[in-house]
Amino acid sequence: MATDAKALRIPTIPVFEQFIGGAWGPAWSGRTFDDLDPWSGQIVARMAAGDAWDARRAIEAAQEAFASWGTSTPSTRQNIFLRAADILERRRAEVMDWLASETGCGHDFGLIQIEFVLSLLKQASGAGYAAVGQVIPSDQPGSLAMAVRRPVGVVAAIVPWNAALILSARAIVAPLMLGNTVVLKPSEESPWVAGVLWGQIFQEAGLPPGVLNVVTHAPGDAGAIGNELIEHPFVRRINFTGSTATGRRLAEKAGRHLKRMVLELGGQNPLIILSDADLAYAVDAAAYGAFLHQGQICMCARRLFVERPVADEFLERFSAKSARLAHGDPRDARTVIGPLINNHALSMVTRRVDEAVAGGARVLAGGHPVGRCYPATVITDVPSNCELSQEETFGPVAIVDIVDDADDAIRRANDSVWGLTAGVITGDAERGMAIAERLDAGIIHINDQPIHDEPQMPFGGVKDSGWGRFGVTFAPEEFTDTHWVTVKRRQRTFPF
Ligand code: NAD
């Protein structure tokens, strides 16, 4: 009797283990969890469901590996990062497929993620050769005084699912290139792309055992692992990318343990469109900024402030374009708006739009869920006291406000607890610069929408959007300690 899966034509579900101390193994509890496809709802894979004990094993492995990785030569690190880039290039199609099946990521954003990470790995490969300190003139005769940067030790990396490849890569590559070891905790929504993949790539690239460790976990278990990563004395620094609410909770705990964190949090990013803008360009930019990856990017344009003289025409053209954006299967090249990550996200977007409409808002495109997608939605006259106005809504919803002038736009854009990214579209770049100087945002693009990142740039927010900066040349500030070292070339005198 044919009882095996092949004979019964049941697709075999792949099972993935955790990567700790250079070896793959199950969670110590033996538990697994299902990794789901947000479009089909099917199980993509079974993953090890780690917990605090697995995190502790990973931390101990990372601490042991630090002794030699922290003093490894720049060429050793360079060769590993370059090999990692080659491996990712070779596995490009497979990774694109996983991005779609784990996170509902379409072709355009998948490509952006792959290209970013290839560039990050290549840039990081040279980082080991950058100067690690300064010589500082001393008033003590014969004293050579130096500020020397050294890796901190074990770094915990906690990452979200939304740009799973980029965000996991930047969270591990920056600390690793500086000689730290890492424990990576991917989101429960993207354990393969943001976790298992990196274990596989760096193992093949020749990274020594324990330098990178990956702990995956089931929904609901992040807290226990997070506590272990913050409380364990071997962990010297934590980088967190995710929502402001979670980041705030973790920062409070980290404060108790006097641990420094990099916090890359949410945003409610403004896009200002002035009356001297090229409207066709502004419409295209706004659609891309609001709807790429169905609005599930921290940098998305969420609030559009349009100067009154062009507001009617902009609204008409932007709504028409948004209504034409196809929604559906992310693997279909025609799809712009794929599925939201899960049912919770879909019902949250639906509830917030409905609440705004009940309060008097007008929907000009979209406005209702269709299957697992929420079509591109343009909404105006949104009351200031509803959740859509006040919270970051991680989905394809663009709120359009008409403003009297640039001052009005700046005032409204800054009237927010967040400050991640911003865009200003104007025919006058000088005017754009003057506006940029007054916007409360860590990242401001003039004559562009707010979504843009390159590995060498100082990425990060102000206000409740976080602290610290990723970026190959800025990461040393976050993932090294500066030590003051002096050498006396001759004996000094003492007063007694
Ligand atoms: P989230 O805060 O729910 O989760 C982020 C990570 O934190 C996940 O790995 C999750 O498992 C983990 N986590 C949750 N609770 C935890 C706890 N108690 N202890 C330890 N870890 C815990 O965010 P999300 O829904 O995965 O991602 C979307 C959010 O991330 C949005 O707010 C978005 O703006 C933000 N984001 C920010 C950036 C940035 O660079 N500023 C980039 C991407 C996403």
Residues 380-419 have pLDDT tens digits of 999 999 999 999 999 999 999 999 999 999 999 999 999 9
pLDDT for 9 equals: 63
Per-chain mean pLDDT for the chain: 97
pLDDT digits (tens, 9 = 90+) for 134-149: 999 999 999 999 999 9
Q: What is the mean pLDDT of residues 148-165?
A: 98
Using a 6 Å cutoff on CB, does residue 167 contact ligand 1? yes
Per-residue confidence (pLDDT) for residue 276, from 0 to 100: 98
Distances (CA, A) of 282 to 11, 310, 336, 376, 448: 46, 11, 18, 17, 8
pTM value surpassing 0.85: yes
Closest residue by Cα to atom 35, ligand 1, is: 242
Q: Please name the residue ranges forming H helices in 147-196.
A: 164-177
Average pLDDT over residues 194-208: 98
* Confidence label for 1 from pLDDT (cuts 50, 70 and 90): very low
Res 482: pLDDT: 98
Q: What digits encode the pLDDT tens for the residues 214-261?
A: 999 999 999 999 999 999 999 999 999 999 999 999 999 999 999 999
Instruction: Give, as one character, the DSSP assignment of residue 26.
Output: -
Residue 474 phi, psi (nearest 5): -105, -20
**11 has a pLDDT exceeding 80:** no
274-324, pLDDT tens digit by residue? Answer: 999 999 999 999 999 999 999 999 999 999 999 999 999 999 999 999 999
Provide the pLDDT for residue 7. Answer: 61
Residues of the chain with pLDDT > 90: what percent? 97
From the CA of 462, how far away is ligand 1's center (Å)?
A: 17
Phi, psi of 110 (to 5 degrees): -60, -45
298 lines ligand 1 (CB under 6 A): yes
Q: Backbone phi, then psi, for 57, in 5-degree steps?
A: -60, -40
Contact 271, 420 (CB under 8 A): no
What average pLDDT score do residues 260-269 get?
Answer: 98
pLDDT tens, residue by residue, 417-467? 999 999 999 999 999 999 999 999 999 999 999 999 999 999 999 999 999
Calpha distance 396→453 (Å, rounded):
20
- Residue whose CA lies nearest to ligand 1 atom number 22: 222
Question: Candidates 33, 113, 162: which one to mutate for ligand 1, based on the most atoms within 8 Å of Cβ?
Answer: 162
Query: Ligand 1, atom 39: nearest CA belongs to which residue?
Result: 264
Is pLDDT above 80 for 2? no
Q: Which two tokens stand for residue 342?
A: 């899960």
Helix 429-436, helix 406-414: angle, nearest 10: 30
What distance in Å separates the CA atoms of residue 148 and residue 127, rounded to the nearest whole number?
16
Q: List Cβ neighbours of 22 (8 Å cut-off, separation of 6 or more).
A: 61, 203, 208, 209, 210
pLDDT at 8 over 90: no
392 lines ligand 1 (CB under 6 A): yes
Q: What is the mean pLDDT of residues 201-208?
A: 98
Q: Which atom of ligand 1 is nearest to the CA of 459?
A: 40
Separation of CA 264 and ligand 1 centre (Å): 9
Q: Is the CB of 450 under 6 A from ligand 1?
A: no
How far apart (Å, rounded) are the C-alpha atoms in residues 262 and 244? 12
Residues belonging to the active site = 264, 298
Cβ of 401 below 6 Å from ligand 1 = no
214: helix, strand or coil:
strand
Angstrom distance (rounded) from CA 390 to CA 405? 22
